[in-house]
Structure 1
Amino acid sequence: MVKQTKQKTGEFSTTEKKSIGIFQVLLLWVLIPLLFASAVLLIIAKVADVNVFDKAGEWTKSIPFLQKDEDKEETQTDLVLGERVVSLQAEIQNKEAELTKIQSDLENANKDKVNLLAKQQELLAEIEMLKSAKNDSQKDMKEIITTFESMSPKSAAPVLTKMSDAEAIQILSKLKPDTLASILEKMSPEDAAKYTSLLTK
């Protein structure tokens, strides 16, 4: 009986060794080294400041049949956003070109304004000169009229006929009616008629 037990025990122990042996071989020779290598690689990656999980995600995205629909949607969204950015940049460039043109127009308008102000100053100065000249000529005209009124009609008539018609009419129109009548009496009938006609116009 003992032998059988031994045999049975021996058989039992041998069978037990075989099943434990395969599991142990698998555990010792495959899983434990694989886990150890993975742990070492993770430690090295951590020291090298590399995110293994992000890298793994990038590698899986590069494999066509592993890409998810979300990735495709993100790619399409990125394309739409990229096109929108390009169109907005083109719009910005157009607006900048318009702004540059408006600034150029504004500068030209400012230059024109400065030129117009300078011309206005010149014209005002010229108006002042003309007013002054007119005042001087009015003073001269008053003196001439005073002179003609103090002259005898016989002396004034020949002087007026020697002047241009415009000058003569200007003087005659300013004379007092009595003086004018006396001077016209001393002129020839043709000259008197001419000046009377010009005075009535």
Structure 2
Amino acid sequence: MGNQKPKSKEKKTGKAQWFFLIIFVPLLFAVILGGVILSFLGINVLELGREAVSNVPGLAEMVEEEGPNEETEQLESAEEAAAKDDEIAALQAELEAKDDEIRDLETELEEVLIESETDQNQSEDEDGDDSELTDIYENMAPGSAADVFSEMDTARVVLHMNGLRADTRSQILAKMEPADAASILSALENN
């Protein structure tokens, strides 16, 4: 009789182990795996479980309704509104700074355009003066032009000679002193 008790204990332990290993663990694994798969598919498994439990009469009291608190919502919306107001103010200040920068750049651009236009008018006047002088030297007798060029510095003579035709240049150089003509020719080559 003493031998029979341990066998029945082994059988009870064996059945409990069998139930736990064969039925409970695979069932638990299947439920967890199904929940993970449904979560990946975009189904809120926890919310569905909460709804199912709340429909069961005895378990409904155990599941607390976790609805959003109105005071919390109002506080959060007030904080969000304040944060957005601060952001709007910062963006408006940045916009005003950018507008001021644009106005400054436009003013600077106008000044540069006016300066450029003035410089262009001055250079046109100088070009006009040079072309008038060139015409005068072209119409002068080569000897007279040579006398005038002999009195000027070489850089200025080269400036005026560049505007003259080649035949007029050669006639004027022929009438100049050889040393002066040589220095002017050298300067014309370098120019």
TM-score, normalization by structure 2: 0.54
**Which of the numbers 101, 120, 131 marks the counterpart of 2:120?**
131
User: Which residue is 2:82 aligned to?
Assistant: 93
Cα distance in 1 for partners of 2:182, 2:103 equals 56
> Which letter does structure 2 place at the counterpart of 1:104?
A
One of 99, 102, 115 as aligned partner of 1:110: 99
Q: Is 1:148 aligned to residue 157 of structure 2?
A: no
Q: Give the counterpart letter for 2:135 in structure 1.
A: T
Report if aligned partners of 2:173, 2:181 keep a CA contact under 8 Å in 1: yes
- Structure 2 vs 1, CA of residues 164 and 96 (structure 1 numbering), >3 Å: closer, same or farther? farther
Highest Rg: 1 or 2? 1
CA offset digits 1:44-94 (Å, max 9, x no partner): xxxxxxxxxxxxxxxxxxxxxxxxx89x978x953xx54454444333333
1:182 offset after TM fit, Å? 1.6
Partner of 2:170: 181
SS in structure 2 at match of 1:174? coil
Instruction: Say if 1:170 and 1:73 are closer, same or farther in 2 by CA, change over 3 A.
Output: same
Give the Cα separation in 2 of the matches to 1:85 and 1:182. Answer: 100
How many residues are treated as equivalent by the alignment? Answer: 129
Distance 1:191 1:142, change over 3 A: same
Structure 1: 5+ residue stretches without partners = 1-68
Q: Is residue 170 of structure 1 aligned with residue 155 of structure 2?
A: no
Q: 1:186 to 1:90 in 2, by over 3 A?
A: farther
Percent pairwise identity: 29
SS in 2 for 1:175: coil
Structure 1 residues 144 and 96: CA distance shift in structure 2, 3 A: same
After TM superposition, the structure 1 = structure 2 runs for residues 1-150 of structure 1, keeping only pairs within 5 Å, are 77-78=68-69, 81-150=70-139
Tell me the alpha carbon deviations over residues 2-38 of structure 1, each in whole angstroms, 9 at most, x when there is no partner: xxxxxxxxxxxxxxxxxxxxxxxxxxxxxxxxxxxxx
Relative to structure 1, the CA distance from residue 89 to residue 132 in structure 2 (aligned partners, 3 Å threshold; closer, same or farther) is same
* Separation of aligned partners in 2, 1:109 and 1:164: 54
For structure 2, which runs of at least 5 residues remain unmatched after alignment? 1-60
Q: Note the alpha carbon deviations across 1:87-146, whole angstroms, 9 max, x for none.
A: 443333332222212211211222222222222223322333233222222221121111
The CA distance in 2 between the partners of 1:169 and 1:134, in whole Å, is: 18
Cα offset, 1:177, TM superposition? 0.9
In structure 2, C-alpha distance between the alignment counterparts of 1:92 and 1:164, rounded to whole Å: 80
Task: Confirm or deny: 8 A CA contact 2:155 2:187 kept in the other structure.
Answer: no
